[in-house]
Amino acid sequence: MSVPQLLTEFVDYVDFNQRSLFVSAAAIAFNPTFWNIVARKEYRDHFLTRAFGGNAQRACYALAATIFSLGLLRDFLYERALRNQPSHPALEGENVTYAAYALLAAGNILVISSTWQLGITGTFLGDYFGILMDKMVTGFPFNITSAPMYYGSTMSFLGSALLYGKPAGILLTLHVLIVYIVAIQFENPFTSGIYARRERERAKAGGYEEKKEL
């Protein structure tokens, strides 16, 4: 069977009449859109920090709790969407199950180890609140990929799709990957700009101190 034929057969096992499929896709797209919009607004006018009485740490933790809760809702909607979709016989074998558990394990390792390395504020956009890391994290899992949270999450989505044996889950995983790649294109340059600004300010302050000593 050719690749186009295989893809056509898999798509035939996707029930596009199920509203839950599109609700799940919308939730997947909403989450990174939401946190990028909120974080950039916070960076520009500190509206969350002001709402928490000028405490950037508390504001960041509140956003973290919101993002985490939205993630749980997204995962619930994804699982519900999969339950409403037909299974493909080719995805019900023992080897597929092993691959599914391997992807889930690897994905969770990337996500958990990333959170461990960055901490809560580093993971949940603390940079936008002015809570900056002292230096770039280069250890595992950042020595494998610059976006372990995103790619680990994608692997978990794919693992769940295979575990349930649902072609619709594979389609949604592709959607997840595209959404995250787009998010990375927006986030990385902006975050790099935040740290570049700090370095310029440090250099400026260092030059000022040198002049005072002279």
The torsion angles phi and psi of 36, rounded to 5 degrees, stand at: -70, -40
201 pLDDT band (50/70/90 cuts)? confident
Angle, CA 52 vertex, CA 136 and CA 113 arms, to 5°: 30
Tokens of 92: 């019900």
Q: Is 107 annotated as a binding residue?
A: yes
Q: Is 99 annotated as a binding residue?
A: no
pLDDT of the residue at 2: 60
Q: Is 119 annotated as a binding residue?
A: no
Residue 173: pLDDT above 80? yes
Q: Is 187 annotated as a binding residue?
A: yes
Alpha helices (runs of H) in 15-93, residue ranges in sequence order: 19-45, 47-51, 56-83
82 pLDDT band (50/70/90 cuts)? very high
Question: Is the Cβ–Cβ distance between 31 and 25 less than 8 Å?
Answer: no
Residue 9: pLDDT above 90? no
pLDDT of the residue at 11: 81
Helix (H) or strand (E) holding 174: helix 167-213
Rounded Cα–Cα distance for residues 88 and 118 (Å): 39
Instruction: Report the interhelical angle of 56-83 vs 148-164 (nearest 10°).
Output: 20
Name the residue with higher pLDDT: 1 or 116.
Answer: 116
Tokens of 112: 């958990």
pLDDT of the residue at 1: 53
The torsion angles phi and psi of 144, rounded to 5 degrees, stand at: -105, -45
Burial (Cβ within 10 Å: 0-12, 13-18, ≥19) of residue 177: middle
Question: Is the Cβ–Cβ distance between 167 and 13 less than 8 Å?
Answer: yes
Rounded Cα–Cα distance for residues 2 and 50 (Å): 58
137 pLDDT band (50/70/90 cuts)? confident
Q: What is the pTM of this model?
A: 0.90
Residue 212: pLDDT above 60? no
Q: Is 105 annotated as a binding residue?
A: yes
